[in-house]
Amino acid sequence: MKIAIPVDEKSLQSNVCVSFGRTPYFLIYDTDTKKSVFVDNGAAVSTGGAGIKAAQMIVDSKASILLTPRLGENAAEVIKAAEIKIYKTTTAAAQDNIEAFIAGKLPLLNEFHAGFHGQRGN
């Protein structure tokens, strides 16, 4: 089973990034091999729809679990279409969140925020 987490740094001790679409990296942790891979988030610099593109990357990484503090509606639609389960992280480091998830201590994330593309002004 592969677990995906948005992280601020390329390290298991990294914080979980507060923004799913704009995170610099995703940590993909494989619970079978115990290996971690860090992938650059190409969506971080895109002008719009970052959440959708980032979600596509998670799907392509073959993760079946996503741990994230929050998620936009569009990204959630992609993630759910791929039948990936979404859990809400705590403020602890990425590794602690993985352990908490394995121990069954993270709740499912089921509130998704509206996209920001409709924002006014610039």
Say which residues have a Cβ less than 8 Å from residue 101's Cβ, sequence separation at least 6. Answer: 3, 65, 67, 87
77: contact with another protein by CB under 8 A? yes
Give the DSSP per-residue string, 47-65: SS-HHHHHHHHHHHTT-SE
Least spacing, CB of residue 18 vs another protein, in Å: 20
Residue closer to another protein (CB basis): 56 or 90:
56
65: contact with another protein by CB under 8 A? no
* Piece of 11-19, 48-56, 63-71, 97-105 that binds another protein (CB under 8 A): 48-56
Count the residues of the shown chain that bind another protein, applying the rule CB under 8 A. Answer: 23
Could you give the CA distance from residue 110 to residue 66 in angstroms, rounded to a whole number?
A: 12
Site for another protein in 3-42 (CB under 8 A): none
Q: Are 26 and 75 in contact (CB under 8 A)?
A: no
List 4, 55, 67, 94, residue binding another protein (CB under 8 A): 55
Could you give the CA distance from residue 59 to residue 10 in angstroms, rounded to a whole number?
A: 20
Q: Are 50 and 21 in contact (CB under 8 A)?
A: yes
List 82, 93, 100, 102, residue binding another protein (CB under 8 A): 82
Residues engaged in binding another protein (CB under 8 A): 43, 46-50, 52-53, 55-56, 59, 74, 77-78, 81-83, 115, 117-118, 120-122
